[in-house]
Amino acid sequence: MSLLIGLLIVALIIRRQLRTRPVRPRASLIGPAVLGVLGVAALAFGVASVVKEHPLTPPVIALVVATLVIGVPLGLVRATTVRVWHDPERGVLRQGTLITTALWLVSAAVHAGMAEWIDHTAAAGLLGFSTLYLYLCVTYGVQGHMVRRRAAALPS
């Protein structure tokens, strides 16, 4: 069920990316905040699923951190593929491209691979998959921030 919810969230993010939307200087933080709250709760569940069998090991912790860190450059790269322009009537607009979509799919695949690696290394529980919401929070948040920075740099 969690995998289905995760895939649905990624599909909704991709769908939203492909629509032409205004760039708001103070974008809503609701999406990343919800993903962050879900992420903390899921991570707590994932940690609990491992520690009931044995303690977390440093390699497992390092892989969890690496998974979240990997989301940063992927968000940065995706942000460069989003079209940002000034429309005289509607203001500054943005729209993801097919490359943006492809990079979202790459991001999802990278996370899936890292999740498998974490679970294999942990040898118990569902810790790898439990990082999905935090990963999405990080990578989506970075992309949004960089798109807003690009929009702010446009001539009026």
Range of the domain at 91: 2-152
**15-74 confidence digits (pLDDT tens):** 988 999 999 877 677 888 899 999 999 999 999 999 999 999 999 999 999 999 999 999
* Lowest mean pLDDT, pick from 8-17, 85-94, 98-107: 8-17
Mean pLDDT computed over every residue of the chain: 91
The pLDDT score that the predictor gives to residue 96 is 96
Q: Is the pLDDT of residue 1 over 70?
A: no
What does the buried/exposed string (b/e) look like for 44-55 if buried means 16 or more CB atoms within 10 Å of the residue's CB? eebbebbeeeee
pLDDT tier, 7 (very low <50, low <70, confident <90, very high otherwise) = confident
pTM: 0.89
Q: What's the whole-number mean pLDDT along residues 124-132?
A: 90
Total domain count for the chain? 1
Q: What's the whole-number mean pLDDT along residues 108-127?
A: 92
Q: Is the pLDDT of residue 2 over 80?
A: no
The pLDDT score that the predictor gives to residue 151 is 92
Q: Which helix (H) or strand (E) holds 68?
A: helix 58-80
Cβ-in-10-Å burial (0-12, 13-18, 19+) of 18 comes to middle
